[in-house]
Every structure is written in C-alpha cells, then in structure tokens.
Amino acid sequence: MEKTLTFERARIGEADTLMKFEERVADPRLYGAPSNLERARREIRRNRLYFVKSGDAIVGTAAFCSKPGNRVYISNVAVDPRYRRQGIARAALTFILGRCTGATRIELVTHPENEAALRLYSSFGFEIKSRHENYFGDGEPRLVMSREAIADRRETHVNSSGSHQTTPS
Ligand SMILES: CC(C)(COP(=O)(O)OP(=O)(O)OC[C@H]1O[C@@H](n2cnc3c(N)ncnc32)[C@H](O)[C@@H]1OP(=O)(O)O)[C@@H](O)C(=O)NCCC(=O)NCCS
C-alpha cells in the first residue's frame, strides 16, 4: 500500500460513496448497521467527515463535530477491512486530534466488546467515563470515553487542493 494517506472532506454529493464504504465496514452489533443514502447525507451534513484515501482508494473515514461547552465529539473512525492493522485508524485519530485545538474535551462512544476500538482509543489516552445499556436505541451497550484536547504534535500537511496528507506509522 502507498504510504501517504490523504484526508478529503466529503461533499454532500458523495453520500452514495460513503454508503458503499459503510457497507464494507458494517458490523450491526459492534459498530452499526450499513447506512442508507439519507443517513449518509445526514452524516456528511452534521459532521466534518473525511474520506481517508491511499491513492484513489478510500481506505477509511474519520468524522467529528463540535459540541456545546468546547467539546468535540468523534462520530466516526472506520477502516476498510482490507486495509486494517496498517496504522490507518491511528493516522485518522491523529488527524482529528490535530484539529481539536480550540476544544477542551474530546468525546466518543464505542461498544464495550469492540476490542480493536478500545485498544486504539486507550492508546490515545481516552478513558471510559460511563456505560449505557441502550445508548443508540439498538439494544446494545455503549461506553462513553473522553480525554482532554491536547493536540497531538504529529504534523499533518495541507496541500494546495485543500486536502490533507499524513503518513501512517
Ligand atoms: C477499530 C478500527 C478503526 C481500527 O483500524 P485499524 O486501521 O486497523 O487500526 P490501526 O492499524 O491504526 O491500529 C491502531 C491500534 O488499534 C488497536 N487495534 C487495531 N485493530 C485491532 C485488533 N483487531 N485487535 C486488537 N487491537 C487492535 C491496536 O492497539 C493498534 O495498535 P498496534 O497496531 O500498535 O497494536 C477498525 O478495526 C474498524 O474500522 N473497525 C470497525 C469500525 C469501528 O469499530 N470503529 C470504531 C467505532 S467507535
């Protein structure tokens, strides 16, 4: 795989691309059911949602949004199963944290049995704050995790087309 990752902000017209990506990633219990077009549009509209690309291939997504009280909520970090364990989620999280400089707290929600996500987030200093038995109304438990918003020092480059590049470790 090419080493440089590009982060491209999703446009509303790319909802079908997001939907197709989410079909590849979907895990109805641990992560969530595949999206439909309306939900994909809503995700792009409400969040800062980026496609993570390696060359022309969409290998992941990363999304976050601002919340009242100087908080940032990470609504999505996902990697295509074919590209996992190559540091892409780590690069995506680093990318997001680098954009949270004005925030005081960063929050996210994950399933207590999502071992990969728990390890990933713990390694970035996120701590479990609370457990909710039916957080999204899907009958599955979720953990709320958070950490302070100290920007990761790792550099992310902005190129002339407005997309961002970084390199997975
Ligand atoms: C969780 C997920 C984003 C990790 O993506 P990834 O690109 O494979 O992760 P990385 O290669 O960047 O790994 C970073 C760290 O995450 C942890 N990790 C990732 N996959 C793991 C796995 N299968 N088992 C245990 N730990 C894992 C490790 O701590 C890893 O660090 P290490 O490689 O130094 O051990 C990916 O498995 C995914 O897309 N899952 C489905 C969507 C999802 O659950 N997203 C999170 C929802 S809140």
- pLDDT of res. 143: 98
- pLDDT of res. 150: 73
- pLDDT of res. 101: 82
Ligand 1 lined by 166 (C-beta under 6 Å): no
CA of residue 79 to ligand 1 center, whole Å: 8
Q: What is the pLDDT of residues 136-158, one digit of tens each?
A: 999 999 999 999 987 544 434 43
Ligand 1 lined by 87 (C-beta under 6 Å): yes
CATH number 3.40.630.30 given to 5-157:
yes
- pLDDT of res. 151: 54
Q: Which two tokens stand for residue 74?
A: 């990470």
CB 107 within 8 A of CB 87: no
Q: How far is CA 9 from CA 29, 39, 52, 61, 156, in A?
A: 27, 17, 9, 10, 15
- pLDDT of res. 102: 87
- Pocket test of ligand 1: the residue of 1, 54, 85 to mutate, having most ligand atoms within 8 Å of its CB, is 85
User: Can you give 30-83 as a three-state secondary structure string?
Assistant: CCECCCCHHHHHHHHHHCEEEEEEECCEEEEEEEEEEECCCEEEEEEEEECHHH
**How is the chain split into domains, by residue range?**
5-157
Task: Enter the pTM of the model.
Answer: 0.91
CA of residue 10 to ligand 1 center, whole Å: 22
pLDDT lower than 50: segments of the chain: 1-2, 152-162
